[in-house]
Structure 1
């Protein structure tokens, strides 16, 4: 196959110890080269760049020319799984809309994630989807001002949000409008009526999402560095 018709796929897998990279022929799915580098937890881009640089070199020939033939980059990781197993996670603020203290206790947030920031504000809906109370936007603003600089993500869960997600979505839009932080809303992850359990699920996702975001940014940095113009999956 001539170089003008070649095309490659690159796979990157970042684990707790090593980051692996492999190049496949896009037409035949044959693995053409593979390489490994240490995962650099302090700056994931270092390990990702090293793995991609090594795998492009392992192809032989001009690495820059090979990079120009990449048509897709796929990334996978066990970082989130490792964080769950090891009890690690990013600092998060959980905003509970329309929750009373009993619902907070039922959620198990404090025991599951010691030190987690949990804030309650007025709002929420009833079992028919009607508004039980107005969303307290002023209280939400205070929460964001108080914790926005100290956390890496927010999670939002609202009473009966599966019947009407309006307050969760409004809270998400407000937070993203005031910060650049990721926001997880419970109804994006679960459809159960059990608001305390949805809150726990949203909190877990929020604790992990910033770590995955860092990995994606690291891979994008490596793609820019090596001139890889391809979709990232």
Structure 2
């Protein structure tokens, strides 16, 4: 990318770096204290993703001319955790204690996991007596001798423990008690994931999320260490933040406890970056990379969250995730021609990071979506060899891609009315200037680095979780008090008060407590 801000760099200026690791490219952006984009770079993601991170930081510093000592914040959005689950690599062994006998014994833990993932995470999964009814009343009291027996068997066999109880989001007491026992038996340093801190009510999906979180602890530790070492290697002493999938940041120490929250942060970063670059707060964001097109909904400046269970690597989970629809169209998507049947097909497979080697316009032998876009004049690529490309075939491939993207946009709309669409990602050169069902298409400046800019924008969050008695105050008063507390927590974490807004709010009536009790969870986020 070219340097986009040639003003003299003030010695007082404070900068931030945002990096987003994708399957094809690693994007990096440098922003100033007013969140203006100073410079962006795009490098190919390599098999060892840390190499791409180091190279992107090197180019960002060299090409922008910024003093590394002035970079005070560094944010990373990464696919490390997603890749580890999908590829079944680098996962830690996790011991599971489900608090649910005799009520839940008919469905064993890990029932819907395939054998490769079970083998990677381990076989130490136990169901012990306990659990709550939906209203928080105890089904069965804990049998601590039984629990200690299970923990003794795990000694030396697991690197983390996950604890999941029936209806524990309504009453957390049993999970917290088993955490105390686990620390006593396995040592204070044993990492423990409590399911109520990650997932919502559904038992099996919440259990899966807690298990995966425990399995990813080694992965995220390597990510944070590698990122910090890369920064220090260039003389950058910055606060390190990892991107979450709700559009906010978490300090690296928090990420070391909850790596599962980094899953799907890439599309979220693109949505946040698109909002910042376009100035729109409500729109559909179409992010086209080298491999996929991800479509998300921008609502009040933040990604719309999914209410459905989400599959990660074939495992159903129910922790918060952005509502994203992905289709197999990207800059590297392969276009095939069947001359015998006079048929053209597009994707879903892609040449990925090998585009510059295998694409036809670069001298390769594979027709890709990028070849089609350049042939049809949507983008000018210096030195591109388009003479031998058949324009009629490119037109047919373009019609297929356009139809697929229009259909995907329709599926994400909440009404039949035309919507605004913000196009971001390097692959957005594939899209025509007009689409059916779209009011306007906005291609903002720096559209191809929106994901890295979204990572750099990142906001700091604060949360509150309290039980209120509705005999003593109204529902509105309870919600207002919880929101005020969450805002204060965000400010304490380093957010600017004027920028803080509520990004998550939920309440659960708790019938087992007197006084018409209500459990309220609220999350607020604001700029650093």
- Of 36, 52, 58, the residue aligned with 2:57 is 52
Q: Which has the higher strand share?
A: 2
**Residue in 1 that maps onto 2:209:** 201
Q: Look up the match of 1:22.
A: 29
How has the CA–CA distance of structure 1 residues 175 and 224 changed in structure 2, closer, same or farther, with 3 Å as cutoff?
Answer: farther
Q: Report if aligned partners of 2:84, 2:219 keep a CA contact under 8 Å in 1.
A: no
The structure-2 alpha-carbon separation of the partners of 1:208 and 1:51, relative to structure 1 and needing over 3 Å to count, comes to: same
Q: Contact (CA 8 Å) 1:16, 1:79: kept in 2 or not?
A: no
What's the secondary structure of 2:239's corresponding residue? Answer: coil
Q: Which runs of 5+ in 2 are unaligned?
A: 1-7, 242-528
Q: How does 1:32-47 map to 2 (within 5 A)?
A: 32-34=39-41, 36=43, 38=46, 40=48, 44=50
Q: Which has the higher contact order (CA 8 A, sep 6+)?
A: 1
Structure 1 residues 110, 90: CA separation in 2 closer, same or farther (over 3 Å shift)? farther
CA drift of 1:74 comes to 0.9
Query: What secondary structure does 2:200 align onto?
Result: coil
Shift of 1:70: 0.8
Give aligned pairs, total: 224
Query: Does the CA contact (< 8 Å) of 1:48 and 1:218 recur in 2?
Result: no
Larger proportion of helix? 1
Determine the structure 2 residue equivalent to 1:217.
225
Q: Is the 8 A contact 1:15 1:79 kept in 2?
A: no
Displacement of 1:161 in angstroms is: 1.6
| 1:183 match | 192
Q: 1:199 and 1:35 mapped to 2: Cα distance?
A: 38
- How far the C-alpha of 1:225 sits from its partner, in A, is 4.2
What TM-score do you get using the length of structure 1 for normalisation? 0.74
Q: CA deviation at 1:47?
A: 5.7
Q: 1:156, CA displacement in angstroms?
A: 1.0
Question: CA 1:176–1:6 in structure 2 vs 1: closer, same or farther (change >3 Å)?
Answer: farther
What is the rounded CA distance, in whole Å, between the counterparts of 1:22 and 1:80 in structure 2? 22
Contact 2:183 2:189 in 1 (8 A): yes
Shift of 1:35: 5.7
Residue correspondence of structure 1 range 1-233 to structure 2 within 5 A: 1-15=8-22, 19-27=26-34, 29-34=36-41, 36=43, 38=46, 40=48, 44=50, 48-60=53-65, 66-88=67-89, 89-100=91-102, 103-106=104-107, 109-112=110-113, 113-115=117-119, 116-117=122-123, 118-175=125-182, 178-192=187-201, 194-233=202-241
Superposed CA deviations along residues 100-124 of structure 1, whole A, max 9, x for unmatched, are 4x72553561441433431223333
Q: Deviations over 1:135-191 (max 9, x none)?
A: 344444444443353333321111232331111122234435625343222212333
Partner Cα separation in structure 1 for residue 55 and residue 144 of structure 2: 46
CA distance in 1, matches of 2:62, 2:155: 43
3-state SS in 2 of match to 1:98: strand
- Larger Cα Rg: Structure 1 or Structure 2? 2
- Structure 1 gaps of 5+ residues are none
Q: Aligned-pair distance for 1:128?
A: 4.1
* CA deviation profile, 1:31-55 (whole Å, cap 9, x unmatched): 42426463536xx5x6644543443
Find the residue that maps to 2:41 and give its secondary structure: strand
| Cα contact 2:27–2:40 (8 A) shared by 1 | no
